[in-house]
Amino acid sequence: MIKPHGSDALNPLYVYDDAARNALITEAASLPSITVNSATAANAVMLGGGYFNPLTGFMNLADSMAVSENLHTTPGLFFPVPVVNRVEDASGMAVGSRIALLDPNVEGNPAIAVMHVEGIEKASQEQIDAMTQQVYGTMDSNHPGVATFQAAGNIFLSGPIQVLSFSYFQADFPETFRTAVEIREEIAANGWEKVVAFQTRNPMHRAHEELCRIAMDAVNADGCVIHMLLGKLKAGDIPADVRDASIRKMAELYFPPNSTLITGYGFDMLYAGPREAVLHALFRQNMGTTHLIVGRDHAGVGDYYGAFDAQTIFDEKVPEGSMEIEIFKADHTAYSKKLDKVVMMRDAPDHAKEDFVLLSGTKVREMLGQGVALPEEFARPEVAKILMDYYQALDAS
């Protein structure tokens, strides 16, 4: 199986030993504590599950700046985005101390991790702005990722952590949430060697479904891991439980048995386009897949990124040998009226735009909200029904 990023074996930071974890939970109750923001809690979940391998905790300011500018830490570890714990107030905390990090997303704010504080550093606004521009490629406050990054505190708490829970993800998505450790185990149990990963924060329409098949056929894969983001999204995005139900229905009805794994991960979307595409590749290498599908405007939002910037970054900014995972570069995929099947547009050079079944996201939401069936060439009827029920309930509320 493909090796994790930066080490021979995966190093999840979740404390799996029950006695050790319970002792830490007891200790956390007596420690100085801080309720972290949602992004930091999601980082803790991802560190706990092994997705951020080989990191042992939160980056300091120097590493955060180096990663933002050059995609590597000061010691030289390749990494595409800063993994940080930023707070507004560090009163009562000292370097060398242990603190409890409290979960903002679970009632009662239980400790999600215990942290050994190695650094407490205040970043200037100029440094925050530089990281924002480098990671997101813009300073526009209308960009949801920029808004979130700029609003976080400017004090960086760095150091190793021990993770005590996976926040709300296991309870809310028991059939879907998986750590990188668990996905590796499932891939091994299936006997899969070549494995394609498909990242999604949206329901899957016919084009997405077929794209998974195209990629699997192209690389002769044994299976496909459909890996959906389960954390916080921007306003207007479809909730994770609705996406989960629609994707499961699609896989159940339209993929051969034992050819897919339907899984999810506990991370808040960055909407960082090219940088987030590289992060997605790192996640998928750590969970054991050999290929990641990177499509048109992967991890993008609005018009902030070029259609294929998330592909070209792997050629232009990712040093050769930095990661072992391979990228399957996909074009926009749609149903061809001429060929009576879903194709990648680059494979149909004789087609005009009107030869494809194309619907904008706005049009899809409008139709579903009005109870109008989507064309079967665009969406499977069983999937469309789940989405229609959601949008009609939304409009009725």
Residue 86 burial by Cβ neighbours in a 10 Å radius (0-12, 13-18, 19+): buried
At residue 274 the predicted structure's pLDDT band, cuts being 50, 70 and 90, is very high
Domains along the chain with CATH numbers = 18-167 (3.10.400.10), 174-265+271-396 (3.40.50.620)
At residue 364 the predicted structure's pLDDT band, cuts being 50, 70 and 90, is confident
Please state the pTM of the whole predicted model. Answer: 0.95
Average pLDDT score over residue span 98-127? 98
Condensed to tens digits (0 to 9), the pLDDT of residues 116-172 reads: 999 999 999 999 999 999 999 999 999 999 999 999 999 999 999 999 999 999 999
According to the per-residue pLDDT averaged within each range, which of 161-165, 229-233, 391-395 is highest? 161-165
At residue 239 the predicted structure's pLDDT band, cuts being 50, 70 and 90, is confident
Average pLDDT score over residue span 168-187? 96
Average pLDDT score over residue span 200-221? 94
Residue reference for tokens 């030869």: 355
What pLDDT score does 202 carry?
87
The letter for the amino acid at 282 is L
Pairing of strands 195-200, 119-122: unpaired
Burial string for 105-137 (b: 16+ CB within 10 Å, else e) reads: beeebebbbbbbbeebbebeeebbeebbebbbb
Condensed to tens digits (0 to 9), the pLDDT of residues 28-44 reads: 999 999 999 999 999 99
What pLDDT score does 269 carry?
92
What pLDDT score does 164 carry?
98
Mean pLDDT of the chain: 95
Query: Is residue 298 within 8 Å of residue 290, measured between CB atoms?
Result: no
What pLDDT score does 368 carry?
85
What pLDDT score does 8 carry?
96
286: annotated active-site residue = no
What pLDDT score does 50 carry?
98
| Active-site residue (options: 70, 154, 202, 365) | 202
What pLDDT score does 82 carry?
98
| Active-site residue (options: 86, 184, 201, 206) | 201
Higher pLDDT, 132 or 370: 132
Condensed to tens digits (0 to 9), the pLDDT of residues 57-99 reads: 999 999 999 999 999 999 999 999 999 999 999 998 999 999 9
21: annotated active-site residue = no
At residue 234 the predicted structure's pLDDT band, cuts being 50, 70 and 90, is confident
Indicate whether 365 pLDDT > 90.
no
Q: How far is CA 255 from the centre of its chain?
A: 23
Average pLDDT score over residue span 329-341? 93
Indicate whether 103 pLDDT > 80.
yes
Indicate whether 105 pLDDT > 80.
yes
Neighbouring C-alpha atoms within 13 Å toward the C-beta of 189? 9
Indicate whether 311 pLDDT > 90.
yes
